[in-house]
Amino acid sequence: MASIFKALPGLEVPVGEISKSLADMWTATAADGGPAPASDDAKATQVNFVLHLGFQTTPEDATKQFATAVKFSRRYPSRIVVLCPIAEADDQGQMEMKAKIYGECHLGKTKSDKRCVEFVMLSYSRAARSHLENQVSLCLSTDLPLYYWAHRFSASSKLADYRYLLSRSKRVLIDSAIAPADAMTYPWPNPLGLRDLVYSRLLPVRQTVGQFLAGYAPEHVADGLQRVTVSHAAESLAAEGRVLTGWLQRRLTACQAKGVEFVTGNCAPQELGIEFHYQDSARFFRWKGNIGKGHAHFACNFGGGETNLPASVSLLSPEMALSEAMFF
């Protein structure tokens, strides 16, 4: 089986010499005329960030998520540790831990605003698992908040073994579209810090629908509401449809809507849709958005005449969804 550790960029170094190797890396880069931090200010970091690539991560997926972390770090300078557990089929039962380092610099808003980020990749066997927390702690800054992104883990109970990261992290990020079914309800050590990347990706949808409905009195939206249909593309947006339904339930409850039935419908590929059905058949609300094409449409009548309005729609990019889940 191909190794996700080997698929990631970087220079392999002895585990006990990570800090020295990072310093040597920048020195060598500067000597070769490459971009390197001119001072410690260029490596000023805002957060500690651990990306955990679970057993279900393929090498191609690993490089994709690594690229997302790089894009995120350009906006929010971070100390990033990438965990690469050795696949169960390749684990020989021996004590094994390897490390890679990677760094890059980029300009901020001005040429003098240079920001450099450092990555440490750790590959480890099951036998070396008990030493992982100590090694991770050595790679992180003790005075910065910690954020933990668990990607494609195979079972919630297995991820629960990483209690050090789950309990210490200010936010634990999980994508419920690809996580085990119980991921959002599992009794994690810090449940209030759990964030779903699906919910974060839906921010533009939640904003555009919420802002439109906020233009009407809550009682006009809630009175006589009997059923809400949330439609989604059968496979590609199933998680988004589920999370959007939960958000609507909470918001309509806040508007004092009672006894509302929520049902699911199907849309064309890349589409999401919402429809409110009322006791008075003349009243309605409909929204449909095509994520791929970026356009949406509102239609409604809450008793004061029909309104039709075109709008734009999108999902947050992966790196922006990370920041939304971490900080908001």
List the chain pLDDT tens, one digit each, 328 residues.
469 999 999 999 999 999 999 989 988 776 666 666 765 555 567 899 999 999 999 999 999 999 999 999 988 888 999 999 999 889 999 999 999 999 988 776 776 677 788 999 999 999 999 999 999 999 998 889 999 999 999 999 999 999 999 999 999 999 999 999 999 999 999 999 999 999 999 999 999 999 999 999 999 999 999 999 999 998 899 999 999 999 999 999 999 999 999 999 999 999 999 999 999 999 999 999 999 999 999 999 999 999 999 999 999 999 999 999 999 9
As to burial, measured by CB atoms within 10 angstroms (0-12 exposed, 13-18 middle, 19+ buried), residue 90 is exposed
Measured distance CA(4)–CA(123) in Å, rounded: 9
- Bridge partner list, 194: 172
| One CATH from 3.30.360, 2.60.120, 2.60.40, 3.40.50 for 202-312 | 3.30.360
**In terms of Cα–Cα distance, which of 80, 71, 127, 85 is closest to 323?**
71
User: In this structure, what token pair is assigned to residue 100?
Assistant: 């890679």
Residue 105 near residue 35 (C-beta atoms within 8 A): yes
* Residue 166 phi, psi dihedral angles, 5° rounding: -65, -35
The domains of the chain are located at: 4-196, 202-312
Residue 25 near residue 11 (C-beta atoms within 8 A): yes
Cβ burial 179-215 (10 Å sphere, 16+ → b, else e):
bbeebbebebeeeebbbbbbbbbbbbbbebbeebbee
Under 8 Å CB-to-CB from 122, ≥6 apart: which residues?
Answer: 15, 81, 82, 83, 84, 97, 98, 99, 132, 135, 136, 139
Query: What pLDDT is attached to residue 44?
Result: 63
Query: What pLDDT is attached to residue 32?
Result: 64
How far lies 299's CA from each of 233, 257, 261, 274, 310, in Å? 20, 20, 21, 10, 9
Query: What pLDDT is attached to residue 91?
Result: 93
> Tokens 């309104």 appear where?
307
Q: Is residue 291 helix, strand or coil? A: coil
Under 8 Å CB-to-CB from 46, ≥6 apart: which residues?
Answer: 76, 77, 78, 144
Measured distance CA(37)–CA(203) in Å, rounded: 35
Query: What pLDDT is attached to residue 99?
Result: 97
- Bridge partner list, 262: 228
